[in-house]
Amino acid sequence: MTTPSQVAQVLGVSPGPSASAADIANAMATVPSPDPTAGGGDPVAQIIVGVVQSTQFTASPPTVTCTLRGSATQVSGLRFLAGYVPQVGDRVRVAVIGGSHWIVGVLNPSGTLGGAARQTLSSPASSVTFSSVPAGYMSLHLTCYIASMATSAQIGLQFNYDGATHYNWSAVYGDGTAAASASATSDSKARIGYMSSTAGGPTIIDCVIPGYGFANAGIGNARSSRFDSLTVSGMYPEEYAFLWTGTGPITVLQVQAYGGVNMGAGSAFSLAGIP
């Protein structure tokens, strides 16, 4: 009979608290041989795209209801693997295993992490806030595309609405011919980038915050690329390390321009939880 580890290998996932190895073994009890690792059939009879309609986490086991693609059919009582908390509106991969339905992946989250929460500025603004950041992920991954305005500004992070001098950061940067560095202690933000004053020159930021759910949560690093122009002389790469001395876990993350300067309309931000 197919084992839980073999199921996990085929699905590309791992058993966890929401779906134990015994659960998977029970679900696979009716799956016929041959074993997929022996070159035979696939134990996953079908994989369907579904949309989460409702969740009930107080039930034991938790209950999730999905509408399956291509029909109005709703399937209730879906189980899910650890590392993902279903949210209403999520588009998910549903595997039919031994006659039971399992959520084994997320395609397009509803906007409350799970995969990624996204915000786009329809008009200039000096900050963007991601609130109610759920626990349960290994780290957070923030990406930013910031459209420039007439006034340049540093870009920073604040956690849990903490605007006090609880942030330290260090940076190295260059323009292709010369390198420089900068640092600060007791700042009001963790600096992660610099927005150009050149109209149309975007700033791209890629930031990782590991261990955000723990007490000493606010360490991370960011890579930023500023484009004053689309030529080599107008490209400015930057690398940052930062520390927040406040107490976690982090439940609110704000991207802010220093000095209240606005980021341009069309700026886009994405915050993802990494299992």
State residue 9's pLDDT score. 42
Q: Find tokens 């930013």 and name the residue.
A: 144
Omega within 30 of 0 (cis) for the link into 32:
no
Alpha-carbon distance of 143 to 141, in angstroms, equals 7
Token couple for 78: 């879906």
How far apart are the two ends of the chain, measured CA to CA in Å?
29
Dist. CA 31–CA 186, nearest whole Å: 60
CA angle 69, 71, 76 (to 5 degrees): 75
pLDDT of the residue at 164: 95
Q: Where are the alpha helices (DSSP H) in the chain?
A: 4-11, 21-27
pLDDT of residue 87: 74
If DSSP codes are grouped into helix, strand and coil, which group holds residue 92?
A: strand
Cβ atoms < 10 Å from Cβ of 172: 14
Sorted by where each starts, the structural domains of the chain and their CATH numbers stand as 4-108 (2.40.50.140), 117-274 (2.60.120)
Name the residue among 9, 18, 6, 21 with its Cα closest to residue 275.
Answer: 18
Q: What's residue 240's pLDDT?
A: 96
Contact 275/141 with Cβ under 8 angstroms? Answer: no
Can you give the pLDDT of all 275 residues of the chain as single tens digits?
334 444 444 444 444 334 444 444 444 333 333 333 333 334 455 677 778 888 877 666 667 888 876 666 788 878 776 556 677 777 777 777 766 777 776 665 444 444 467 888 999 999 999 888 877 677 888 999 998 888 889 999 999 999 999 999 999 998 777 889 999 999 999 999 999 887 657 899 999 998 787 766 788 999 998 887 777 777 889 999 999 998 878 889 999 999 999 999 889 998 887 76
Q: Is 195 helix (H, G, I), strand (E, B) or coil?
A: strand
